Structure 1
């Protein structure tokens, strides 16, 4: 074992979910092998290289596991994985599970400094990285950093490009004879994977998950959206993201389904994949969906049968986009509220929810009803060390605990202390309301506020209202420093294709007509062709703040908003 990964949940509670069948109580590779035995020729992966069946993928995984064992990788070791979506990434997931090692996937877009931080803090002994991807060379970059990482013993280079000197070729490891390899049988409640946050902290948080938390808790989430068939999931988000952890561990190992993968998202490629491969579920972030809807509106795309559901996560989904998606794709749209830290709640697949129009008591995003087989969710009084539940119908901090709850933060006892209660509840930092009927609404973030002249403004509230403007395709609001007011609110906006970009005054008038207080109106407008995204596919708020600061105020764009 390298870095210490301890479980902050009471052991008896964790065991109770295995005893009652909520969690499968098997390690990920054993779950996968059961599906391989039951249907060896069923398709496991569809990617740019074609189809790969369960038997062929299993052989690749066993060969790679044997090769990695030859490099000295042992049960409990942490191994980084920086690969684009494709069969190599899935093979690495399964091989590390078969070894009983702990996978630390992170997207290929992560810079060298961030990658080095993840590998150093996790005490990773090896990393599997791409030889090249979209003009970058992750494997070569990590080799340069190896001297700063005392625990790192090997860099494995995967892909069609030249293997940099000093790296081990992924292809050579795949040629290892697996006959002498015996898969480990790790404790299902032991660590299997480390999820990486999107980086809202100074350094991205790392969160350790067990086999049961992934296949059980997260697996139960996908099970609630299935229609009786094995899932055929088109992942437009990186498998290396928290959202993407529903790939190998859930779609394949838990449910025996098929992964449809693109190594890089474009709206055209995504729509072609929907038409060609007929996925049951499309997993994406709202920005991706809006881009796909714009292409559909232009016409010329192949007709496709409706998926079972579009599953959207990573950022809030406005009702206008959801309604357009239901019409265009002919299927339900599921709004997923979740995070790497250990919370999951989603709207049901039934269309026409009469409560979509808004929370009766004020602004908010409908998150659905919590599923105790995934995560029990409560509303706590903010600022208390012990969990003290807030009355129904009142705003408080969202806390979660259940089968998908992670073990702990990695090498960060300060985060364990800050975000976990003594009995294992996860503090999300999100503000929510639980109504009497058990419906959860998200109303903001404890720390994601813009403080203008001493008054708090919730960017999420303003974004929800701006998204209803017919000329807006995508919008993110951020705070920008201001010498007089402390901060002012900026709206970073992508206009709808074919629509005239709205002016700041038009947006303010729209917000006024929607009933939003004038003090909450944006005072800066930044027009963009597309929102910058983090490697995990979420809007990059830090980059937007920088863009606003670099652009400076346009004439007439910054003026004190009148008091309401």
Structure 2
């Protein structure tokens, strides 16, 4: 069943961006096919044990597109993709772009409830899945749900299929003599090509639909801004899942820049450092917790990092101390990206001074998106004042999928997206982030920004990373808990010592001090590669918490 995906951005704005040349005006598969014909033997994808050329990736994508077309997958149909990082995931993206279907990739690790929400709300007609993910027989999970998913007609499995499913591997290598006939007409570049699954703050995953033009223009321009040297080919090591919002730069790197994308099936600092030493990427893309693991990996001092030009961090605030160590130990510039699946973006540039990278999210690029800072009534606030970030521009998605309530709550008149993020725009046009509306902790009537406290805690010399969460409290409403990952070999950190540091060394207000401390060997990652804050909340619920007496505090 073809899902309806209306464009909530005024059509005159889309036409203006086309007329300005911001939009390529061509579908993603056409852009990729052009790159493949220009340089068929160039390497498109590098994995730990294999490489895939542009010509090989084109053949695999064409074979899958022909197979799905023969099975009745049509333009506008949604096809879910749950594959590990690698050429297969990218070929699936390209195949669906070729047919005019809508690719719905989501990172490995989703369980039954999220899977049902994703497949059910999208009305996916087919799914390409991995047989086993960790301890989960994922094919069995999907099979158990099929009775409640009447639209799901076809399931292809990377691995041994269950009865009623098909093996995916033979499809990649099957001849497609009818491909030209099946794929004769290119899809409308303003139509949906990808649904991004948000790992945000809603109870169920948000599904956000993007057009060919929005993905190519937004992600493509971001990559051009981060890769200023046209003489040196871009070699992008994507540590986050290609199926995530941040990981969608991988597809844009192929289609828009003709780059080489390097991946490992799942992130580990050891695998990443082996790729850096052996495959010589120019850029890394990851989240702060990944970089913290890399910086503490004992193999780093003996790893050749000379190919690196820029380390790109997004998904959460990069602490200045971490950024300084990245510059020193990876010998590369650092760029930070603020973005979301909902269509917000601002980023620093490789030539920005360290102070700008460490304290701001850079200047929004209007060829990607414009940002406004607004008050509770949707009115613009003066420069330097904090408010909610609203976003609108060429990157803006079409809509939330089959969810009128989300479209009502997160989309504003004129095509603006209410991000739910808080920030302030400095007089020089640079964005400073202060947190999320839903993350604000209200303790005895005082609003506490977890992001602010995380910044101070992470400056402690024995702390590798910190995450703050609100804990319900019958007396005060909420109390602030902090989860800390220590530096290797650090002395055990106590709550009293941390509070004393925050008061005396950082000047934090006493009312904003964390009252609960959990020290973890490492943070748990969610499917998107970011810290799984839900697991941290569950840890507090299971273990409980003890609030120190007044005379225990610093």
Instruction: Give the CA deviation at 1:153.
Output: 0.4
CA distance in 2, matches of 1:504, 1:426: 40
Cα shift readout 1:499-529 (whole Å, capped 9, x = no counterpart): 1132111111111121110011011111101
Residue 240 (1) aligns with residue 238 (2) = no
SS at structure 1 position matched to 2:536: helix
Query: Does the C-alpha gap of structure 1 residues 11 and 324 become closer, same or farther in structure 2, counting only changes over 3 Å?
Result: same
Asked if the contact 2:47–2:262 (Cα under 8 Å) also holds between the matched residues in 1, the reply is: yes
Equivalences for 1:279-318 in 2 at 5 Å?
279-296=281-298, 301-318=302-319
Equivalences for 1:318-467 in 2 at 5 Å?
318-350=319-351, 352-355=353-356, 358=359, 366-384=360-378, 388-467=379-458
Which residue of 1 is the match for residue 548 of structure 2? 558
Which residue of 2 is the match for residue 33 of structure 1? 33
Instruction: Give the CA deviation at 1:562.
Output: 11
Residue 48 (1) aligns with residue 48 (2) = yes
Residue 468 (1) aligns with residue 469 (2) = no
Residue 541 (1) aligns with residue 543 (2) = no
Cα shift readout 1:111-153 (whole Å, capped 9, x = no counterpart): 1210111110011001100122333322232112111111110
CA distance in 2, matches of 1:93, 1:356: 32
Aligned length: 548
Which residue of 2 is the match for residue 65 of structure 1? 65
Which residue of 2 is the match for residue 176 of structure 1? 174
CA distance in 2, matches of 1:444, 1:147: 41
Which residue of 2 is the match for residue 231 of structure 1? 234
Cα shift readout 1:184-243 (whole Å, capped 9, x = no counterpart): 411111100000111420111110000011011121011111121332111110001110
Cα shift readout 1:242-281 (whole Å, capped 9, x = no counterpart): 1011111x11011111110100111111011111111111
SS at structure 1 position matched to 2:361: strand
Which deviates more, 374-383 or 286-295? 374-383
Residue 100 (1) aligns with residue 100 (2) = yes
CA distance in 2, matches of 1:345, 1:30: 28
Equivalences for 1:189-268 in 2 at 5 Å?
189-226=190-227, 227-228=229-230, 229-248=232-251, 250-268=252-270
Asked if the contact 2:348–2:357 (Cα under 8 Å) also holds between the matched residues in 1, the reply is: no
Cα shift readout 1:133-189 (whole Å, capped 9, x = no counterpart): 33332223211211111111011101xx32222211112322432121232411111
Instruction: Give the CA deviation at 1:450.
Output: 1.2
CA distance in 2, matches of 1:395, 1:304: 39
Query: Does the C-alpha gap of structure 1 residues 349 and 178 become closer, same or farther in structure 2, counting only changes over 3 Å?
Result: same
Which deviates more, 176-185 or 275-284? 176-185
Which deviates more, 338-347 or 437-446? 437-446
CA distance in 2, matches of 1:369, 1:143: 47
Asked if the contact 1:518–1:563 (Cα under 8 Å) also holds between the matched residues in 2, the reply is: no
Instruction: Give the CA deviation at 1:561.
Output: 9.5
Asked if the contact 1:82–1:138 (Cα under 8 Å) also holds between the matched residues in 2, the reply is: no
Query: Does the C-alpha gap of structure 1 residues 17 and 357 become closer, same or farther in structure 2, counting only changes over 3 Å?
Result: closer
Equivalences for 1:263-278 in 2 at 5 Å?
263-278=265-280
SS at structure 2 position matched to 1:340: coil
Cα shift readout 1:288-338 (whole Å, capped 9, x = no counterpart): 000000015x65633231412111111111100000001111111111100
Which residue of 2 is the match for residue 166 of structure 1? 164
SS at structure 2 position matched to 1:447: helix
CA distance in 1, matches of 2:535, 2:456: 23
Query: Does the C-alpha gap of structure 1 residues 543 and 559 become closer, same or farther in structure 2, counting only changes over 3 Å?
Result: farther
Residue 531 (1) aligns with residue 533 (2) = no
CA distance in 1, matches of 2:352, 2:381: 31
Instruction: Give the CA deviation at 1:353.
Output: 3.4
Where in structure 2 are there 5+ consecutive unaligned residues?
A: none
Cα shift readout 1:380-402 (whole Å, capped 9, x = no counterpart): 12233xxx221222111111111
Query: Does the C-alpha gap of structure 1 residues 29 and 561 become closer, same or farther in structure 2, counting only changes over 3 Å?
Result: farther
CA distance in 1, matches of 2:10, 2:357: 37
CA distance in 1, matches of 2:411, 2:552: 41
SS at structure 2 position matched to 1:234: strand
Asked if the contact 1:67–1:174 (Cα under 8 Å) also holds between the matched residues in 2, the reply is: no
Asked if the contact 2:439–2:469 (Cα under 8 Å) also holds between the matched residues in 1, the reply is: no
Which deviates more, 27-36 or 166-175? 166-175
Query: Does the C-alpha gap of structure 1 residues 83 and 141 become closer, same or farther in structure 2, counting only changes over 3 Å?
Result: same
CA distance in 2, matches of 1:23, 1:501: 53
Over the residues paired in the alignment, what is the CA RMSD in angstroms?
1.7
* TM-score, normalisation: structure 1: 0.94
CA distance in 2, matches of 1:49, 1:300: 24
